[in-house]
A and B are shown apart, each in its own frame.
Chain A
Amino acid sequence: MAKTKRRRALAALMAACLPIGMELPSRLQVVTSLPGQYRWIQGLVPLPDHTFLILDTGTHRSLIVSTKGEVIRQIGSIGQEPGALQSPSAISLDARDEIVVLDSDNYRVQRFGRDGTFISLFPLNYYSESFAVTSNGNIVVNSPPKGAVFSIYSSSGQLLRSGGAMLGESAGYPGHQSRQSSLATMSRAIICADRAGGFYVVYTFMPLVQRYSAQGELLWQKRLSGPVIDAAAKTFWHEPGAEPARFLKKVYGVQLPVVISAAATLPNGRLLTAVTDGTLIELAETGEQLSTVAAAENLPRAVLALAYQDSYLYLALSDECFRTRDPIRF
């Protein structure tokens, strides 16, 4: 116990000593972490007590685990009754310290206590794979089946508003025509809460990021750029010489190459996105594209979840987790 405390103190000291401006390395170096039997991790949330909340879509449950991978608690299991989950794909901790789960195949949002007890649920009546709980307690759900990029719900599940124009291919790939039939697909996005009660929208199949206010007003829109993005775009459009897709997602019966596979808001409010080849791109709160971190050589698959805890960046890749070898300061 004392050893763990000393190690944490040392890590904090090391992180504090990192020079400002050297927050992210040019190439990611990672080691395996949070060992365990997982099937398909889609959510990774750092908890205040230095444990992690892992959402394992493949086993239809969430686990609270220590950094050594010891399972402290299981939340949910397969099923449809209140408290049961079916292919949950996003998880968050709200300001009340309650665990909120997007129960995707049951088309609903559920709330649990930290001890795993079921508290409440509200139905969505549509399928979604991403949501975020904002700092003011609202729940923002990616909602293309509703004809909007996002829908904002109160913490009790009351629909406050839907918004975000459904975007086609032309928004993320200049020179390409948007097709009406693909709007619902192209509007699939990862939602991340910002520090001001608003949220980021990170598109799955396009290198496009937006930021919205708490009221759902568009603040800015940024198209990611750089050689990695160009390569991902070539893959998406099956252009000659394109790299094979690393992560395909089936949407409405069609398999499409994912461009951005994960995103997370950093403690400093910036947004970190993971391109499917494992490259990380950092964006300022103003939308300015900051550093690009080359993919770690030992990451075999696309990153599906990102989290920052105790000066380390954690990455989940379907059935295993990694963390940065060295501390990173944000």
Chain B
Amino acid sequence: MHEYSIVQSLVDAVETSSRSQHAIVRNIEVRIGELSGVDPELLLTAFQVFREGTCCTRSTMTIERVPARWCCPRCVQEIPKGSVLRCAFCHQPAELASGDEIILQRIELEVV
């Protein structure tokens, strides 16, 4: 249950990115990887509690979930989910290509 500390960092990042603009934060878009260790529902709940009294008070949050993908680091061949995490051709251990991200992607500001 570390979603609250993630939300705290998220609100700090939104504050930094929107401070110079005279605008109201209306929506924030985040990208959360399947293997990031962050539960999207808990993140949303944490955000709804934590946003009060911050620059995000009037903001909603949109979460894009990013599926986990593995590739061979040598031949870049995709390694299907659920299979042995080793390249069938090069025998290299698979490398996570996506799915561990916790990213603030975009902020929507209402210009006043």
A and B from one complex: no
